[in-house]
A and B are shown apart, each in its own frame.
Chain A
């Protein structure tokens, strides 16, 4: 993902980042013949994103899923741990998603599972993004030996299969109440290199730009250059990789819960629900299809949102958008 964003920043941001380079832009501005409303960079990005119909639709779907997961439990009249007299009922008006063999309402379980899966995924995405951004920016800014060593370490982390390492580390977590939090930390520890790579790549080219040179000439310290000038300018690729991380985290967490080393009963997650429905595919297929459909729905909408954001931040790629 090469960031060509800064090259197009001839507009407002270039002025904001390096205000001292433009002394010619004096107080006497010539009157314009046509009045053109100035648009900020973020407004432009938002406009471009809103033009991407599929991405906007996906955003709506994603918000609906989040509401379903976090607010649904309070509204819905069954709870995910409540036994109802209806045992193994297929989807009906009373139980829109059906019930399992002990009479628990599947919709309540899916709500709870989606909530857990989303909590873990969002936590992983946030943590991994922060760590990866700082790590990648430092490696890219200092280059040389630091960069080589730091990126070798990143390569190393990426050689290990996520599910295997997460299962090894997660086997100790057990069924404690805060276990989803540990699963989040483990997955974040395994996924931050994805962001670090992206950020480092962008920073490597950004650090040669004039506005960085200007900042350095003004005597800005390294920390100020990295966090004040470089990191804000790699926000585009970083936000796109957040969506990739959310998708990866959902798939990893559900896979981990499926093989029995992620979220464990009595808590539930979408992966655990599919795992429990494994033997019932032919007899009670709804138990298998609904949780799976929710995983697909979440990942699909996140991927489309990511695609829309990528185009919005970097319009040059729109030509070859897939």
Chain B
């Protein structure tokens, strides 16, 4: 298992390196960072433009700029920014904020998908199955932002009705937190509830449908029949025999959706006014601030590649044949 993990890790290094180049190429070609400065009235003197271009390394040829950028990253230098922020430091904080939302949502979605898939498959063509399938289709069709606003409004109404702040609807944490560590963690967890639900509910449906299909396939196999025939309780057969086998293909499907979680997180964070990665990205794009955007893509891409790696390892754990292939 360990050797397999190392092998997979080594394979993902060239992928990551290629993606840095691709990202750099894309962002460099996507527009002129000085366009706003040039368009300013009265036009700024040539010396200012040149100084700014030098500051942003625009006077260097592209390959040199790429090398300059990529070689700075191991030292924690992500390049200059027009927002006067330390990109590495700022992004690290934002990354923590967004990742706790993304990871929790992936986990919640996986649990919901597992339960819904098993229940639907066990009671195939029952009213429960139809209801769950229908709900799944509905959530699959629901735009993240629409559901987020709906849930936020619902929470605001509940808060108004009861006169207490039961649900936090704005921000990733309270501005002033009193009390010790436990109170702070509680505060952060409270702010996480609604966005996590939004992200999980809008993404679990494709997984649960897949899980249902593979559960049905497994349930009709001989070894499940044998397990039932030798008198094992139905619940044990479903969970321990069938689900473990059915989960392996679902993990593959899950790993393809991780990038979508980041897309969903950007939109969800916008609705709940979080200071996460989404906010940093959108602000940087608006200011045509190139280096934070580059760093953002690099970090998000790496996170997705890492999550894919974990999914691969999980697959190998569920299906021992993979490890020795």
Contact = CB atoms under 8 A, between A and B. Distances in A.
Interface of A: 152, 155-156, 158-165, 167-169, 171-172, 247, 251-252, 254-255, 258-261, 271, 274-275, 278, 281-282, 288, 292, 295-296, 298-300, 303-304, 319-320, 322
Contacts of B143: 251, 254-255, 258, 271, 274, 292, 295-296
Nearest to B294: A168
Interface stretch (B54-62, B74-82, B259-267): B259-267
A273 to B, nearest CB: 11
Which of under 10, 10 to 19, 20 to 34, or 35 or more describes the interface residues of B?
Answer: 35 or more
B91 interface: no
Contact of A156 (B15, B156, B256, B270): B15
Nearest to B120: A322
B8 to A, nearest CB: 13
B141 A259 contact: no
A275 B146 CA distance: 9
A106 B144 CA distance: 22
Contacts of A298: 141
A162 B263 contact: yes
Interface centre among A165, A278, A322 (most CB of B within 10 A): A322
Contacts of A161: 259-260, 262-263, 266, 300, 304
Given A288-B149, A322-B209, A158 B285 contact: no
B297 to A, nearest CB: 7
Contacts of B311: none
B140 A255 contact: no
Nearest to B304: A159
B217 interface: yes
Q: Chain B interface mostly helix, strand, loop or mixed?
A: helix
Closest 3 interchain pairs by CB?
A161-B262, A299-B141, A163-B263
B26 A169 contact: yes
B213 A322 contact: yes
A319 B125 CA distance: 11
B153 A282 contact: yes
A191 B296 CA distance: 21
A168 B145 contact: no
Nearest to B11: A152
A258 B153 CA distance: 17
Nearest to B219: A320
Interface string B212-239: 1100110000000000000000000000
A280 B53 CA distance: 43
Given A258-B145, A281-B153, A296-B141, A165 B297 contact: yes
Nearest to B32: A172
A271 B145 contact: yes
